[in-house]
Structure 1
Amino acid sequence: MASRTASRPLQCVLKRVRPSCECSSIRTSSIRQFSASRSRAEQSETDRDQRPRWSYTPEEMKAPFPWKPQDPSKVFECNEDPEKLDRFYVNFLGRGGDTMLADEVKWLAITHKSFDQGRRGFNDRLAFFGRRILTLQTNLALLNSPTTATRTHVGGNPSDDRIPFLHPALEGIENLSSAPVGEILTKERLSALATQVGMREIMRWQPRLVNKLDHSGIDVILTTCMYAIIGAIALHRGGAVANEVAREKILKPLGVS
């Protein structure tokens, strides 16, 4: 009788132990599912990191939900084709122009801050630097060009016999006043040149009026991108290359040499 009573508690204990084994299997399966989902998430993150920076908006900079309904009438499609961008640089800078800058910089130079709310970077600083370079090269070109008018007398009095001081280094100073830089590097002239080389088709920006680009200030955007390309070349290829590009690709087509 004692053996029978002793076996009963043992059977109860075994019955109690069996459900714990089932719980452990459930835990292990859940851990495997969690690890699998975690590995998939890590793989998706690595895939995102391998994407070029210009092609997407960082997830950390996106709102969890759209804060403003999108108006279909204001949707403006910009270029996303790298080959089309390379053709523009070849057309503008000549043979090998598509390899003069890195891929990220090529997109950054033609991206305005209105595109994607500036979350992919924009070209304001590059344009600031490029404008200084182009302005300097314009002044140097005016100084080295032949004078448009000659001074014969001091004060403009024909009866005055005084001879003004003349020096070869000072011959082009009058060009700075007769043809100022502000009249040469106008937004109308630079935007026309940018349109001629095909910048409108590859420039990234968001116009205020999709159907009226001129009223949205496209001339200013085109001019900013022209300056930004010069600034990017100066930073990545040096000042000598940027000066040559400014003279040959911008000033010479504008009639300043």
Structure 2
Amino acid sequence: MASRRPIRSLISTTASSLRPAQPSKCSLVRTAACAFATISPSRGPEYDTEAADRPRWQQTPPKMMAPFRIRPLAKGGVFKVNEDPRKLDDAYIRMLGPGGDKVLGDEVKWLAITHKSFDHGRRGFNDRLAYLGRRIVELQTSQALISSPQENQWPRDSKGIPANDEFGRKPYLHPALNGLQGLTDEAEGLVLSKTRLSPIAERYGLDKVTRWKPRRADDLQGSGIESVLMTSLYAIVGAVALERGGEVANKVVQDKILAPLGFTFSAES
């Protein structure tokens, strides 16, 4: 047993000499600090060009651009979107009236008419503005339906008096309940259907300025242009509410959306 001890000590000594020395934590921190102190921060080439000064609506952010295209081109040709600010201002003037091009800021004006399908959403899109605008339009529509005369669906006799149904029941009728049917989802859905709102958007020229990417450029109807235009209409209302307040947005809904649908409003509303 005594003769084996020198051999073991020799092996342990040799192994420790071959093992690389581990740097201490202090040396690692010191090395990292020196590296950060001596290396200059990297700067992309896109920041040294004029692209850095261009607004987001006008260009795809350089860092979000793919180096090459991996998808085939869309069928039916290429759909060209509007890039002319004057054409966009004309659409806002037609919808919001004289001075409508000054109601919103430049960035918001483009954001409100940009669908999420355009440029893969890299320049921003109008979903959140449309969500707010839709709630405002729905509220104004419900109030308009309550104030409008509703057709009574209850059967009446020859004298116009509500008749009993087959079970002998007679409804309770009151003038304050006449507009209650306007609060149903069916009544609101008939008023705010995309087939009724998309022609209003076209009347204001939103179909010429809305930025989106249809599935087929030669079949915009089949690609869902009605839903896209309805979203732009809602988004403009939401943008007006955020930048000009709810009172102005309510007035826009009443005069520019519900009035063309046949609703009338008093001066006090």
- Provide TM-score, normalisation by structure 1: 0.75
Of residues 238, 247, 251, the one that matches 2:254 is 247
Cα separation, 1, equivalents of 2:206 and 2:163: 48
Offset of residue 144 of structure 1 = 1.4
Name the structure 2 match of 1:77. Answer: 80
Structure 2 counterpart of 1:166, one-letter code: H
| 1:234 matched to 2:234 | no
Structure 1 residue aligned with 2:174:
166
Give structure 2 stretches of 5+ with no counterpart.
1-42, 155-159, 265-269
After TM superposition, give the deviation of residue 179 of structure 1 in Å: 7.1
Match of 1:66 in 2: 69
1:142 aligns with 2:145: yes
- Percent identity over the alignment is 49
Q: Structure 1 regions of 5+ residues with no counterpart?
A: 1-37
Using the TM superposition, name which of 121-130 and 69-78 deviates more. 69-78
Task: Tell me the SS of whatever aligns to 1:136.
Answer: helix
Post-superposition offset of 1:178: 11
Cα distance in 1 for partners of 2:123, 2:46 equals 23
Alpha-carbon RMSD:
2.8
* Residue 116 to residue 136, structure 1, CA distance change in 2 (3 Å): same
Q: Compared with structure 1, are the counterparts of its residues 96 and 254 closer, same or farther at alpha carbon in structure 2 (3 Å cutoff)?
A: same
After TM superposition, which residue ranges in structure 1, 4 or more long, deviate above 2 angstroms? Answer: 40-43, 64-74, 146-157, 162-168, 174-179
Please tell me whether the aligned partners of residues 133 and 234 of structure 2 are also in contact (alpha carbons under 8 angstroms). Answer: yes
Where in structure 2 are the equivalents of 1:26-105 lying within 5 Å?
43-44=48-49, 47-70=50-73, 73-105=76-108
Give the superposition deviation at 1:48: 2.2
Cα distance, 1:42 vs structure 2: 5.6
CA contact (8 A) 2:74 2:215 kept: no
Deviation at 1:177, TM superposition (A): 5.1
Does the C-alpha gap of structure 1 residues 173 and 42 become closer, same or farther in structure 2, counting only changes over 3 Å?
A: closer
In structure 2, what residue type is equivalent to 1:244?
Answer: K
Distance 1:134 1:250, change over 3 A: same
Q: How many residues align?
A: 215
Q: Is the 8 A contact 2:74 2:216 kept in 1?
A: no
Task: Report the equivalent of 1:256.
Answer: 263
Secondary structure in 2 matching 1:253 = helix
Partner of 1:117: 120
Tell me, in whole angstroms, the C-alpha distance in 2 between the residues paired with 1:49 and 1:117. Answer: 20
Distance 1:59 1:177, change over 3 A: closer
The corresponding residue for 1:200 is 207
Q: Distance in 2 between matches of 1:195 and 1:245?
A: 16
Deviations 1:78-120 (A, max 9, x none): 0000000000000111111111111111101111111111100
1:13-32 correspondence runs (5 A): none
Q: Which has the higher helix share?
A: 1
Kindly state the Cα deviation for residue 175 of structure 1 after the two structures are TM-superposed: 3.6
Q: Does 1:129 align with 2:136?
A: no
Contact 2:140–2:250 (CA<8 Å) still a contact in 1? Answer: yes
* Alignment check: 8 A CA contact 2:46 2:52 kept: no
Write the deviation string for residues 149-173 of structure 1: whole angstroms up to 9, x where unpaired: 497756646xx9x8946354x3322
CA distance in 2, matches of 1:178, 1:117: 33
Q: TM-score under structure 2 normalisation?
A: 0.72
Aligned equivalents of 1:184, 1:143: Cα separation in 2: 13
Structure 2 Cα separation of the partners of residues 82 and 241 of structure 1: 24
